[in-house]
Amino acid sequence: MRRALWKGAISFGLINIPVELYTAEKHDELDFTLLDKRDLSPVGYKRYNKKSGREVPWENIIKGYEYEDGKFVLMSDEDLRRANVEATQSIDIQSFVEREQVPILYYEQPYFLAPAKGGDKAYALLRETLLASDKMAIAQIVIRTRQHLAALIPQGDMLQLITLRYPSELRAPDDLPVPSRKSKKAAVSRQEVEMARALVDHMSAEWEPEQFHDTYRDDVLGLIKKKIKSRQTHEVAEPDEAAAPASSGAKVVDLMALLKSSLDGRGKASAKARKSGRDDADEEEGKEEDQDKPTQGAKVHKLPDRKPAAKRSSTRNGAKATAGTTSAKSSSKSSKSSKSSKSSKSAKSSGTSRRAQA
């Protein structure tokens, strides 16, 4: 059983419906580890004391509001709850509106609402009322330390809560270069619109979210597997210039021709051709990778650890001293050998002279 993110009650007139809030989304992103490119050591982050530089464990961390430079008011979780006990424990319905009246731009994050103990009947009453009226409830809820605007929408047997953005959180698109519907330069003909609608009708289908998934994630994993297979585990791939996007220069597009091609089924043939092209490119890439594969038995060499500069200097000085000592010893030996040779020659000459006199 999953753990509830929030527990409280829906306030609906004089009716209180005990409910529990659960997250409705999960993230399935690729988990990349940050590495130091110099030696591939993992890079980590720490919570540290900015004054002492020491790491701070979670149990020693508290919240503080800086009301003046360097002055804080400490706030515990209990303080935040006691600021408005009713707001932190209730989903207060403010009004009921038509679903189409809330633009999708306001929708933020989805949650599931499930009835708590003793709230089944009141939960079902609110659900059936919303279904019968085809409306959604607009409410306010405090999650953690922030009050959110929210919409309660029935979906099958479940009540969904979707947090909404406040108007102040949305930017106006006034500064974006969007063509006006009255612009003559971007005007489209009635025939083009009819042809586009025919294409829309041709591509219309039932909403089946199961048929969609993150294909880019699969492509990245495929590239990772290729690199592992070819032992390219320590290389940084450079961007492919051939695959770079084309320049966004002004180009006149024949919309009618594209729409006719799409309706005639050429769009699908083109998609097959693009897929075939991608397969050929993958095959060529596989050949290139096979050529780049190291020979069997190849070893991966690690970079040697660098020694500190002072130590290297000391080592050089030591080597020079050793060389000097060796040179001095060699010179001393050579001097002694020379003296000994001269003494030996002198002794032999003296002995020869004495024998001649005798």
The tens place of each residue's pLDDT in the chain, 358 residues long, gives: 788 889 999 988 888 899 999 999 887 778 888 888 888 888 888 899 998 999 999 999 999 989 899 899 998 888 887 777 667 788 999 999 999 999 999 999 999 999 999 899 999 999 999 999 999 999 999 988 788 999 999 999 999 999 999 999 999 988 888 888 888 888 888 898 999 999 999 999 998 888 888 888 888 888 888 888 887 766 444 445 555 555 555 566 677 777 778 777 654 555 555 555 555 545 555 544 444 444 433 333 344 444 444 444 444 444 344 444 444 444 444 444 444 444 444 444 444 444 434 3
Beta-bridged to residue 111, according to DSSP, are: 23, 161
Q: Are 48 and 59 spatial neighbours (Cβ–Cβ below 8 Å)?
A: no
Report the distance separating Cα 244 and Cα 209, nearest Å.
Answer: 31
Question: Which of these CATH numbers, 3.40.50.920, 2.40.290.10, 3.40.470.10, 3.40.50.720, describes 6-25+77-168?
Answer: 2.40.290.10
| Angle subtended by helix axes 266-292 and 255-263, to nearest 10 | 90
Q: What is the pTM of this model?
A: 0.58
Within 13 Å, how many C-alpha atoms sit on residue 231's CB side? 12
Q: Give residue 215's identity as a one-letter amino acid code.
A: T
Q: What residue has token string 């791939």?
A: 237
Q: Where are the domains of the chain?
A: 6-25+77-168
Residues 6+ apart with CB under 8 A from 109: 25, 162, 163
